[in-house]
Amino acid sequence: MSGRHPVTTIDLAEVSLRELNQTLHRAQHGSFRVLNPRGAHAVACGIDSDIRVEIDGSVGYYCAGMHQKGSVYVDGNASTGLAENIMSGIVRITGSATMSAGASGGGGLVVIEGNAGARCGISMKGVDIVVGGNVGHMSAFMAQAGNLVVLGDAGAYLGDSLYEANLYVRGAVESLGADAVRKEIRPEHVQTLSNLLEEAGMEADPADFHRYGSARNLYNFHIDDVDAELAGITS
């Protein structure tokens, strides 16, 4: 909690969630410490400036939702939709996240030191997500862009119907989803992985990971043309 600005402490046992979020929205800089979140939903959502927020305890749904620019640190667990649609900045939790962590994120970095539940990185659009433990089923479903790094195992149907996101898993993958395939790790991928692990403060050897991505077989409809073929044969 160091920096040029003093830390402002906000106790959710004393002020309302709306007051907290409006205070964070008005702030252009500085550091904030949030006490007694007690699993509240939508804590520190909609941040749009380069502030630092530390939350002492576990949070409910949509913590740091639509986050931009600043950083949010949760000392605890998070429920559904942690950092959903994050655009930039950092969101980090020491515990585990339930469903849809980092969903549809367009940028920034989400770090989950524990496990993430189902649909981690669903519909991601450029966000980088690093998970210290495992991810649940249907993670990276329809993932479009960005990187999902999993130091543990991945649940069933990883990367179902994904587009151009890269998925790096160190452990076992229960099963891959439609159109997801294991891919070669080239030097540029090793570099990306190394950078993300370093940024996330996770110790792991990039050589231990496998990369998964799209086979691109679902990118376009396959349209037959029997009539043209028959015409070609008879002409």
Provide the token pair at 227: 């009539």
Total number of residues that touch another protein (CB under 8 A): 47
Residue ranges in 215-234 that form contacts with another protein under rule CB under 8 A: 219-227
Quote the strand ranges of the chain, DSSP E: 7-11, 31-35, 52-56, 71-75, 90-93, 109-112, 125-131, 145-150, 166-169, 180-183, 210-214
DSSP helix/strand/coil, 91: strand
Q: Does 100 interact with another protein (rule: CB under 8 A)?
A: yes
**Residue 85 Cβ, how far from another protein at the closest point, in Å?**
6
**From candidates 8, 17, 156, 185, binder to another protein by CB under 8 A:** 17
- Written as six digits, the tokens of 126 are 């450029």
Q: Which range touches another protein (CB under 8 A), out of 80-88, 148-156, 167-175, 193-201?
A: 80-88
Q: Nearer Cβ to another protein, position 89 or 132? A: 89
- Candidates 29-37, 77-85, 181-189, 198-206: pick the segment binding another protein (CB under 8 A): 77-85
Q: Distance (Å, rounded) from C-alpha 15 to C-alpha 122?
A: 33
Binding to another protein in span 173-202, by CB under 8 A: none
What is the chain's length? 235
User: CA 38 to CA 40: how far, in whole Å?
Assistant: 6
| CA distances in angstroms from 102 to 80, 87, 93, 150, listed in the order given | 10, 10, 12, 13
Establish if 73 lies at the interface with another protein (CB under 8 A).
no
Question: Pairing mode, if any, of strands 145-150 and 125-131?
Answer: parallel
> Does the footprint of another protein cover residue 206 (CB under 8 A)?
no
- Please select the residue that binds another protein; options are 12, 55, 99, 162, rule is CB under 8 A: 99
Any contact of residue 28 with another protein (CB under 8 A)? no
Q: Given the rule CB under 8 A, which residues bind another protein?
A: 17-18, 21-22, 25, 41-42, 45-46, 48, 60-62, 65-66, 68, 80-81, 84-85, 87, 99-100, 103-104, 106, 119, 122-123, 125-126, 141-142, 144-145, 161, 163-164, 219-227
